[in-house]
Amino acid sequence: MIGPLLDIRNLRKAFGALHVTDDVSFQVMPGELHAIIGPNGAGKTTLIHQLSGSLASDGGSVHFAGEDITRVDMAGRVHRGLARSFQITSILDGFTVLENAAMAVQARSGSSFRFFASAARETPLNDAAMAALARVGLDDRAHRRAGSLSHGEKRQLEIAIALATGARLLLLDEPLAGTGHEESAVLVALMAELKTTHTIVLIEHDMDAVFALADRVSVLVYGRLIATGSAEEVRVHPEVRTAYLGEEEAA
Amino acid sequence: MSASDLTLAGETPDVAPQRRLSRLDGRGTALAAGLIFAALALLPLLATAIDDQFLLVTATRIMIFALAALSLDLILGYGALVSFGHAAFIGLGAYSVAILAAHGIDDILVQAAVAILVCSLFAFVTGAISLRTKGVYFIMITLAFGQMAYFFMVSLSAYGGDDGITLAARSTLFGAPVLKGNLTFFYVVLAALAGAFVTLRAVVGSRFGRVLRGTRDNRMRMQAIGFSPFRYQLTAYVIAGAIAGLAGVFLANQAEFVSPAYMSWQRSGELIVMVVLGGMGTLVGPIAGAVAFLLLEDWLAQISEHWKLGLGIFLVLLVLFTRGGIAGFVSRITGRGTP
């Protein structure tokens, strides 16, 4: 039997008296796209910080591929195959699109304590980076400055960088944030394609996208997971309707 | 669906941005550096022609500070690490010469090796502590370490203390007084400066340099792709310290005198001014910055005893009106866009 790729047990985080992550447990199976939804302030971003390792948890554990990585830092988790994207685009504006991705390849390709040979001319790094860019449809933008991309393209680059790390599991933090209708259609199609090769934890506000993509959905409200199940199960779950979907429909 | 279908319709690739790419890709800095080094190499001819040997002495001193400013640019310009204690390394390098010479060890290679070792060690220890802090705290803690080194030398009365220590002669190479002549010494310093420039230019474009530059721009991004920035920043700090130490070795020989004044915080501040004045993160800029700063200092000192006021006004104007320093100014007037 194959175990879960990501196994979250009783994860906690409090800022003072505020329990932002309150006893959260869930599992992500290999090949699954697991969406985490919840209203604003539900603690989704805090949870992704805890999963990616940029924020230490107060309690509970995170297991990745059977290994306890609760105390492993962000860089260590990336090396094990767990990479994240950012809700607020976090790319290196001054570098080319290609270098943004090549840097992620470099991080897993031998030592970076090499001082003399030009990194920008390392063909193996650039080839692997180009493959990641092609996957998200940015290969024709490779030599542009990353800062000059449109917002939607920057969102695509976020995903390409995560891909270029060689990760098995992608933590995508609101990849559709701030995108227009056309841009989000591109990204949804991209994620549907990524599903075929990667396990994905998707945090997203866009309900249409979540219900179109997710194999399973977990609903986070005030730091607690109130439901986990298929899109259909979650959609009809009474607590979810009152806590979350009801609000949306009323609005 | 093929990947290229995902590209948004109605957009054409921008063909122009190639020349706005990262500054070190530009041929511009290489050209500017070539011109500066060629001019320096020909300077002795000019000195002979106008019969002004003092010109060489001034030029040598300027190149020594250019070497120190160049090393600071590695951490300041490419690492965004504002070290306010960089002069400490110049002082440690200079004292390595003076103290070894006081014990009869005159060989420049031994002195330089000791200076680089001492500075690397000092940079490693103080850097490992300083790099735990960020922003203003990093500035303060590097200042504190610089002042510690300064006061240590002030209190070291066996080697002159506050008054400093005079060298009996310049360093030797295998017993031969090769640095005795100002002309040879000039070319030795020029070679060191050019060597450091070429080396650092390769370093900032290397894998290591790319991690350093990436961390400067976005630390979180670098961690999110699997880098631990600390060790790269610390290595850069050690490299910068070692090169500044070498500048100190030359400075001791140039002045044939070493004092704690070399490592005062004012000196550290002047090095920052040279880098910012010339253009951070360009390597060639800090060399130009050192030339401009020291010439301006000399020139203003000749016209008025209140020269520091004039220098201050000039620097304020420069910071206000030339973004990117001298390098930025030159690249704008030559139409290469913002560096």
Does A67 share its domain with A20? yes
Please give the pLDDT value at position A248.
Answer: 53
pLDDT tens digit sequence for B145-195: 999 999 999 999 889 889 999 998 898 888 888 888 899 999 999 999 999
- Verify whether the Cβ–Cβ distance B221 to A52 is below 8 Å: no
Q: In terms of CA atoms, which chain B residue is nearest residue A181? A: B8
Q: Are residues A74 and A173 in the same domain?
A: yes
- Return d(Cα B84, Cα B43) in angstroms, integer: 32
Q: Which residue of A has its CA nearest to B202?
A: A116
Indicate the residue of B20, B211, B218 with minimum beta-carbon distance to A112. Answer: B211
Tell whether A19 and A72 lie within a shared domain.
yes
Is B7 an 8 Å CB contact of chain A? yes
In this structure, what CATH number is given to the domain that contains residue A63? Answer: 3.40.50.300
Under the banding of pLDDT at 50, 70 and 90, the label for residue B13 is: very low
Distance CA A72, CA B169 (A): 57
Could A183 and B8 be called an inter-chain contact, meaning their C-beta atoms sit closer than 8 Å? yes
Pair (A73, A174) in one structural domain:
yes
B residues 164..203 contacting A (CB < 8 A): 199, 202-203
Who among B8, B18, B226 is closest to A152 (CB)? Answer: B8
Q: From A112, A132, A166, give the residue that closes a domain.
A: A166
- Does residue A61 lie in a domain region? yes
Query: Would residue A232 count as lying in a domain?
Result: yes
Contact B13 A112 (CB under 8 A): no
Record: contact B226-A104, CB cut-off 8 A? yes
> Does one domain contain both A20 and A58?
yes
Domain end among A166, A195, A212: A166
Residue B64 φ then ψ, to 5°: -65, -45
Closest partner CB to B208 (pick from A96, A114, A137) = A114
- Tell me if A87 is assigned to some domain: no
pLDDT value for A39? 84
In chain B, which residue's Cα lies nearest the Cα of A75?
A: B226
Residue B262 banded pLDDT, cuts 50, 70, 90: very high
Q: Are B207 and A112 in contact (CB under 8 A)?
A: yes
Residue of B nearest to A139 (CA): B4
For residues A61 and A178, state if they share a domain. Answer: yes
Question: Tell me, what's the pLDDT at A133?
Answer: 97
Question: Reduced to 3 states, what is the DSSP secondary structure of residue A195?
Answer: coil
From the list B202, B207, B217, the residue facing A112 with the nearest CB is: B207
Out of A75, A96, A150, the one facing B227 most closely (by C-beta) is: A75
The tens digit of pLDDT for each residue in B52-93 reads 888 999 999 999 999 999 999 999 999 999 999 999 999 999
The nearest CA of chain B is from the CA of A45 a distance in Å of 15
pLDDT for B7 beyond 50: no
| pLDDT for A207 beyond 80 | yes
Distance CA A79, CA B103 (A): 52
Q: What is the pLDDT of residues A49-85, one digit of tens each?
A: 999 999 999 999 999 999 999 999 999 999 999 999 9
**Is the ipTM value over 0.85, yes or no?**
yes
Helix, strand, coil share (%) of chain A residues, nearest 5: 40, 25, 35
- As a whole number of angstroms, the distance between CA B12 and CA B271 comes to 45
Measured CA distances, B15 to A117, A170, B29 (Å): 27, 32, 22
Q: Tell whether B6 lies on the interface with A, counting CB pairs under 8 A.
A: yes
A145 and A193 inside one domain: no
Q: Does A99 share its domain with A204? A: no
The predicted structure's pLDDT at residue A246: 56
Using the predicted structure, report yes or no on whether residue B29 has a pLDDT greater than 50. Answer: yes
Q: Which single residue is written with the structure tokens 């022609």? A: B49
Give the gap in angstroms from C-alpha B212 to the nearest C-alpha of chain A: 10
Element (H, E) at A183: helix A181-194
Rounded-to-integer distance, Cα A97 and Cα A146, Å = 5
Nearest residue to A210 via CA among A45, A37, A40: A37
Q: What is the pLDDT of residues B197-223, one digit of tens each?
A: 999 999 999 999 999 999 999 999 999
Phi-psi bin for A223: left (phi > 0), alpha (psi -120 to 50), beta?
left
Please check whether residue A176 lies inside any domain of the structure. Answer: yes
Contacts of A231 (CB under 8 A, 6+ apart): A210, A211, A214, A216, A217
Query: Which has the closest alpha carbon to B243: B30, B58, B73?
Result: B73
Q: For chain B, what is the radius of gyration of the CA atoms?
A: 21
Which of A109, A116, A140 to mutate to test binding with chain B, by most B CBs within 10 Å of its CB?
Answer: A116
If asked whether residues A68 and A116 sit together in one domain, one would say no
The listed range with the strongest mean pLDDT (A140-144, A231-235, B11-15) is: A140-144
DSSP structural state of residue B124? H
Q: Which domain holds residue A244?
A: 1-81+167-251
With a cut of 60, say whether residue A166 has pLDDT above it.
yes
Whether the CB-CB separation of B37 and B190 falls below 8 Å is answered with yes
Indicate the number of domains in chain A.
2
Same domain, A236 and A172: yes
Sequence-separated (6 or more) residues with CB below 8 Å from residue A116: B199, B202, B203, B206
Is A215 contained in some domain?
yes
Closest C-alpha to A30, from A167, A199, A213, A201: A199
Q: Answer yes or no: is pLDDT of A221 > 60.
A: yes
B227: left (phi over 0), alpha (psi -120 to 50) or beta: beta
pLDDT at B21: 38
Q: For chain A, positions 139-168, list CB contacts with chain B under 8 A.
A: 139-141, 143-145, 148, 150, 152-153, 156, 161, 164-165
Reported as a pLDDT band with limits 50, 70 and 90, residue B23 is: very low
**pLDDT confidence tier of residue B297, bands split at 50, 70 and 90:** confident
A7-47 pLDDT, tens digit each: 999 999 999 888 899 999 999 999 999 999 988 888 898 99
Cβ of A144 within 8 Å of Cβ of B235? The answer is no
* pLDDT in the model for residue B5: 37
Which of A166, A183, A218 is a domain's end point?
Answer: A166
Q: Is the pLDDT of residue B9 over 70?
A: no
Interface test with B, best of A144, A165, A184, A193 (most B CBs within 10 A): A144
**With an 8 Å Cβ cutoff, are B21 and A96 in contact?**
yes
Residues 6+ apart with CB under 8 A from B49: none
- CA B173 → CA A9, A248, B107, B243, B327, distances in Å? 68, 81, 5, 20, 37
| Interface-testing mutation among B207, B211, B239, with chain A (most A C-beta atoms within 10 A) | B207
pLDDT score, position A11: 94
Q: Give the pLDDT confidence score for residue B160 in this predicted structure.
A: 87
Residues of chain B contacting A140 with CB distance shorter than 8 Å = 4, 7, 13
Residue B124 to residue B238: CA distance in whole angstroms: 6
Q: Give the best residue of A97, A98, A103 to mutate against chain B (max B CB count within 10 A).
A: A103
pLDDT at B12 exceeding the cut of 80: no
Any idea what DSSP says for residue B8? P
The residue among B27 and A174 whose pLDDT is bigger is: A174
Is the pLDDT reported for residue B291 higher than 60?
A: yes
Q: Is A241 helix (H, G, I), strand (E, B) or coil?
A: helix
* Residue A200 and residue A247 in one domain: yes
Question: Minimal Cα–Cα distance from A124 to chain B, Å?
Answer: 13
Tokens 């986070």 — which residue? A220
Neighbours of B338 (CB within 10 A): 10
Does the pLDDT of residue A247 top 80, yes or no?
no
Task: Kindly report, residue by residue over B302-320, the tens digit of the pLDDT.
Answer: 887 777 788 888 888 877 7
Question: In this predicted structure, what is the pLDDT of residue B318?
Answer: 78
Residue A32 near chain B (CB below 8 Å): no
User: Which residue of chain B is at minimal alpha-carbon distance from A143?
Assistant: B18
DSSP reduced 3-state for B90: helix
CB B98 within 8 A of CB B253: no
For residue B298, how many C-alpha atoms fall within 13 Å in the half-sphere facing its CB? 12
Residue B293 CA, distance from chain mean position: 13
For residues B144 and B157, which has the higher predicted lDDT (pLDDT)? B144
- Residue B4 at interface with chain A, using a CB cutoff of 8 Å: yes
Euclidean distance between CA atoms B205 and B214, whole angstroms: 11
The 3-class SS string of A9-78 reads EEEEEEECCEEEEEEEEEEECCCCEEEEECCCCCCHHHHHHHHHCCCCCCEEEEEECCEECCCCCHHHHH
- Residue A86 inside a domain? The answer is no
Model confidence band, residue B18 (pLDDT cutoffs 50, 70, 90)? very low
Check A115 against B232: CB less than 8 A apart: no
Give the rounded percent of residues in chain B with a pLDDT score beyond 90.
Answer: 68
Count of residues for chain B?
A: 339
Asked if the C-beta of A44 comes within 8 angstroms of chain B's C-beta atoms, the answer is no
Inter-chain Cβ pairs, chain A and chain B, closer than 8 A: 144
Q: Flag whether residue A55 sits within 8 Å of chain B, measured between CB atoms.
A: no
Residues A4 and A75 in one domain: yes
Nearest residue in A to B234, CA atom: A113
